[in-house]
Amino acid sequence: MPFDPTHPPQTGPAGRGPHGTVSGQPRALAAWLFLVAFLVWVMVALGGATRLTGSGLSIMEWAPLSGTLPPMSEAEWQRLYDLYRTIPQYALVNQGFGMEGFRQIFWLEYVHRLWGRLLGLAFGLPLAWFWLKGAVPASLRGRLVLLLALGGLQGAVGWFMVASGFDAGRTSVNPYRLVIHLGLAFLIFGLLVWTALDLVAPEPLSVPAGARAWVRRAFVLAAAAMLAGGFVAGIRAGLDYNSFPLMEGRLVPSAYLDHHPWWRAFFEHIATVQFNHRLLATLALLGSIIAAAVSWPAVALRVPLLLLVLAVVAQYALGIATLLAVVPVGLGTAHQSLAMGVLAAFLFAMHRTGTPRPALAHAAAGPVAAAR
């Protein structure tokens, strides 16, 4: 079943699904999905650290099974180090840093890949168990299989991205492939969180006129800002124009769109990419504040919308701090990680302000409904 944010999976009357599952089982499913989403969040943080430290190119082999174990001998360490010394990043950035320097970047990338393998097990094994126990509603199966497939695809896309960093003249990965990899992580995280919310809170709240629309407008802007941030990271645009709110003393940099062809400036030109990221982030911040103001009369919506505004404000401030400090590893990693928190806050707010679905109210009633 394709993902549809406006129609969560139905669990049947009186808290029971098509296979006789009771309300406790949907909540167990939701807890598992929230846990996997958290693991994805950590994976994104590790990915940010590997990118900022240049560690992502240290392992030049894609070995999904044999790569689970680290090097077990000095000869294996030397073999991997010799492989790394064949790529431009070593010659142009890390030449002469020795085996100890190689070990440092290797271990971070190794942990990143190992976490991905563990994440696959954390999703696949419980899914099989829930499925065999008859605890997965029929309407949810397609979405969970899709998530499993997307997880496998993400591993392949990750290697597709890393391999681009081995090309002649490159010292980092292709920015387009980086954005695809990051965007797919956002998609997987979003599907996990939304599906879990469907299971624990299928019925949205009543919202004032315009609130639902403003939350969605702000979300579109925030999503665009996140993807633009991927291009900022991909071309290292954060290392230039390290002032705020002006860029070289101007609100709009003089070099904006100064690229040929002009349309590629949106993805490849430092001044354009950074300005667009700033602009989209500012509009997302304003949109979230307007959404909270419009929704304020609905008392039940205040917590979701306040969480949303706080998350966006914190991310905005962290982005400025990261820029002014010229993207140190700690702040850069935190900025990429908090983007997942912003996404989670938007999903929560959108779920709470979704289209009313009275027929699903019983799904959250649980044992109370079953006892009636």
Q: What is the mean pLDDT of residues 49-63?
A: 93
Q: What is the mean pLDDT of residues 228-237?
A: 96
- Peptide bond preceding 245 in cis form (omega within 30 of 0): yes
Please, which residues have CB within 8 angstroms of residue 205's CB and are 6 or more apart in sequence? 298, 300, 301, 352, 353
Euclidean distance between CA atoms 173 and 163, whole angstroms:
8
Backbone angles phi, psi at 54, to 5 degrees: 70, 20
Amino acid letter, 339: A
Instruction: Assess whether pLDDT exceeds 80 at residue 359.
Output: no
pLDDT band at residue 255, thresholds of 50, 70 and 90? very high
pLDDT band at residue 24, thresholds of 50, 70 and 90? low
Cross-strand bridge partners of residue 247? 250
| Among 82, 86, 91, 94, residue whose Cα is nearest residue 54 | 94
Question: How would you write the chain as a 3-class SS string?
Answer: CCCCCCCCCCCCHHHCCCCCCCCHHHHHHHHHHHHHHHHHHHHHHHHHHHHHHCHHHCCCCCCCCHHHCCCCCHHHHHHHHHHHCCCHHHHHHHCCCHHHHHHHHHHHHHHHHHHHHHHHHHHHHHHHHHHHCCCCCHHHHHHHHHHHHHHHHHHHHHHHHHHHCCCCCCCCCCHHHHHHHHHHHHHHHHHHHHHHHHHHCCCCCCCCCCHHHHHHHHHHHHHHHHHHHHHHHHCCHHHCCCCCCCECCECCCCCCCCCCCHHHHHHHCHHHHHHHHHHHHHHHHHHHHHHHHHHCCCHHHHHHHHHHHHHHHHHHHHHHHHHHCCCCHHHHHHHHHHHHHHHHHHHHHHHHCCCCCHHHHHHHCCHHHHHC
Mean pLDDT score of the chain, rounded to an integer?
Answer: 88
pLDDT band at residue 23, thresholds of 50, 70 and 90? low
* Per-residue pLDDT tens over the stretch 152-161: 999 999 999 9
* Per-residue pLDDT tens over the stretch 92-105: 999 889 999 999 99
* Per-residue pLDDT tens over the stretch 317-347: 999 999 999 999 999 999 999 999 999 999 9
Euclidean distance between CA atoms 370 and 372, whole angstroms:
6
pLDDT at 368: 33
pLDDT at 89: 94
pLDDT at 35: 97
CA atoms within 13 Å, Cβ hemisphere of 150: 22
- The number of residues making up the chain comes to 372
Instruction: Assess whether pLDDT exceeds 90 at residue 7.
Output: no
pLDDT at 354: 79
pLDDT at 96: 87
pLDDT band at residue 63, thresholds of 50, 70 and 90? confident
Instruction: Assess whether pLDDT exceeds 80 at residue 65.
Output: yes
* Per-residue pLDDT tens over the stretch 197-226: 999 887 777 788 788 899 999 999 999 999
Euclidean distance between CA atoms 211 and 218, whole angstroms:
11
pLDDT at 15: 42
pLDDT at 11: 44
pLDDT band at residue 292, thresholds of 50, 70 and 90? very high
Domain ranges of the chain: 21-174, 204-356
pLDDT at 209: 76
Most confident of 62-71, 113-122, 130-139, 295-304: 113-122
Euclidean distance between CA atoms 9 and 95, whole angstroms:
55
Q: What is the mean pLDDT of residues 159-167?
A: 94
pLDDT band at residue 355, thresholds of 50, 70 and 90? low
- What are the CA-CA distances from residue 70 to residues 63, 98, 156 (Å)? 11, 18, 20
Instruction: Assess whether pLDDT exceeds 60 at residue 372.
Output: no
| Among 350, 371, 354, residue whose Cα is nearest residue 362 | 371
